[in-house]
Amino acid sequence: MYRYLALFLTAMIINGEVVAGEGPDGRGSYLSASTMTCGTVSDWRRANDLSLLNWYIAGWATGINFATPSTYNILGSTDVASAREYVLKHCADNPLSNTAKALNMLYIELYPKRQQRAP
């Protein structure tokens, strides 16, 4: 199991940027790996094809839900489309950035409002 985790992390470090993040309470540490630049996000926006970004964010949220203690749904009362708009705005304001940085900032904003238990 640990061998696969080590291989995954090594591949992500070699192929993309890895950004460490920490939840506001100091317990929500996580790792966000991304190979998607804001340039790629801008290309998708110009092509009017944001479905891949939706899937990317849904996968990110699922991973955060799994890895963050006391978290059932990091998005809380928001949705993937709203998270997508947050990433699009971040990329428009910071064209040299990437999705990992945008999602780390979104995590910090959403963490206090997350859904902690299943309905």
CB contact set of 113 (below 8 Å; sequence gap of 6+) = 76, 77
Q: Does any domain span residue 64?
A: yes
pLDDT in tens, 13-30: 433 444 545 554 455 555
Q: Is residue 71 part of a domain?
A: yes
- Strand, coil or helix: 66: helix
Check: pTM over 0.85? Answer yes or no: no
CB 110 within 8 A of CB 75: yes
Q: How many domains does the chain have?
A: 1
Has residue 118 been placed in a domain?
Answer: no
Inter-residue contact 21 to 102 (CB < 8 Å): no
Domain encompassing residue 39? 2-113
Number of neighbouring beta carbons within 10 Å of residue 118: 6
Stretch among 23-27, 31-35, 81-85, 86-90 having the lowest mean pLDDT: 23-27
Is residue 18 included in any domain, yes or no?
Answer: yes
SS (H, E, C) 20-58: EECCCCCCCCEEEEECCEHHHHHHHHHCCCCHHHHHHHH
